[in-house]
Amino acid sequence: MYKTEMWNWEVGQRTIADMTPNSNHKWQEEIFISPDGEKASAVVCVDDAEFSIRTNDSVSENTFEKLWELKYTTNGELCCYAMQDEEWTVMVEDKAWEETYGFVWSPLFSADGSKVATAVQQDMEYGMSVNGTIWENLFENANNFALSSDGTKSAAVVQVKSMAQADLATFRSGIFSIAVDGVAWDNNLMNLWTPVFDNNAYRVAAQVRLNLYDYSIIVDNTLWDNTYQGVWNPCFTPNGKHVVAPVRQGGKWGMAKDGQLIWQATYANCWHQQYSADGENLYAIVAPEFGKFSVAVNDKPWAMRSPVVTDLAVSPDGKKAAALANTLNKNWRVCVNGSVWDGSYDMAWKPVFCPNSDAVAAKVRKDGRYTVLVNGKAVGGEFDMCFDPIFNADGSKVLVRGLHDGKALRIVANVPK
């Protein structure tokens, strides 16, 4: 959710900074470029056990014993984990949270980048902290962390009952639950995975294993009536009223909505489902035959088949989809609505649609060089490293951010037809 209206969209190339490592520093770590392409940052070791953040031509005066997980949020704020006196915290725009923790990991961000969450360990108990406020209740185990798209709620799978080593009876009786903002549901289950919020942060759903053989979905602490041989990640309909999830019955996969099949179980696999914003179209990666993957929309697969299909992206208008296909391990190709772009690559990254859905772009790598493709055509040249492309509001221009010979480059190009 980038706010691109205020960015500079004048067509051309600029060098933002020469990020060649400084000879006065012991070393420099990976370089990241801000969403608007105006800043390049990296963690630098300025002395023994003394780290700071370099942005363009300056280095922050703040130093720490360790810095880790440098990231830009969608609103352009620079975030990082920082350790001082063996306590960890989060840095946002060179300002540390007041709270410190025994350890932190798994950073999460709201869609607009204004809220930052992290998994935390404090005194050997586990939970989450959002914008520097830790959950009131912590647990002896927590995993599968989630943040709502608006950043107002957080959730995780938590262990609510203690278990001795090899105590299988207690494990089978159910020791896990879902905690939302630190408050655990009263359903204790054998296993849960991947809690997800609806778009309005009112509801939560997750995968469940009920026993050694049966799986289902739990929504707002209530289990679906039906059980299955397996399930994958659930998702909410855009209006938040219903939940759909891939389910396995009779050795085949289909799609269930609120516990009832809406796509019959005919696929060798079915997962990574996504709704269009209006809720009219449901896309998913499917395998109509074993080892032959494609994308289905409303239970109708594309004609193309590949041993691997991944990174499904749905256009803003919901009428198109794009994905990556791999046939020979390093033979990555970009597919849009079932049509495969010319060219294959050693690696490719998730496609990106422009706001009006007319154009699609993807970052690719071949022979160690990185390129951005827009509508199948290379834009901006080749780089030592580049980042995901970003379109302007009307989809007529694309921002390419890359590194070449140590220089951070910002390129605005017209979208090829």
Q: Tell me the per-residue pLDDT of 120-130, one tens digit each, with 9 for 90 and over.
A: 999 999 999 99
The rounded distance, in Å, linking the Cα atoms of 147 and 278 is 22
Are 100 and 27 in contact, with CB atoms under 8 Å apart? no
What type of residue is 371? T
pLDDT at 329: 72
Confidence of residue 218 (pLDDT cuts 50, 70, 90): very high
Please give the mean pLDDT across all residues of the chain: 96
Q: Is the pLDDT of residue 136 over 90?
A: yes
Q: Is the pLDDT of residue 330 over 90?
A: no
The rounded distance, in Å, linking the Cα atoms of 54 and 225 is 54
Percent of the chain as helix, strand, coil, to the nearest 5: 0, 55, 45
Q: Is the pLDDT of residue 68 over 90?
A: yes
Confidence of residue 1 (pLDDT cuts 50, 70, 90): confident
Q: Is the pLDDT of residue 367 over 80?
A: yes
Strand segments (E) across 19-166: 27-33, 40-47, 50-55, 58-59, 66-72, 78-84, 87-92, 95-96, 103-109, 116-122, 125-130, 133-134, 142-147, 154-159
Q: Is the pLDDT of residue 328 over 80?
A: no
Over residues 64-69, the mean pLDDT reads: 96
Q: Taking Cα atoms as reference points, which of 176, 194, 173, 193 lies closest to residue 185?
A: 176
pLDDT tens per residue across span 222-237: 999 999 999 999 999 9
φ, ψ of residue 255 in degrees (nearest 5) = -125, 130
Over residues 371-380, the mean pLDDT reads: 96
Q: Is the pLDDT of residue 211 over 90?
A: yes
pLDDT at 417: 79
Confidence of residue 365 (pLDDT cuts 50, 70, 90): very high
Q: Taking Cα atoms as reference points, which of 283, 247, 289 lies closest to residue 264?
A: 247
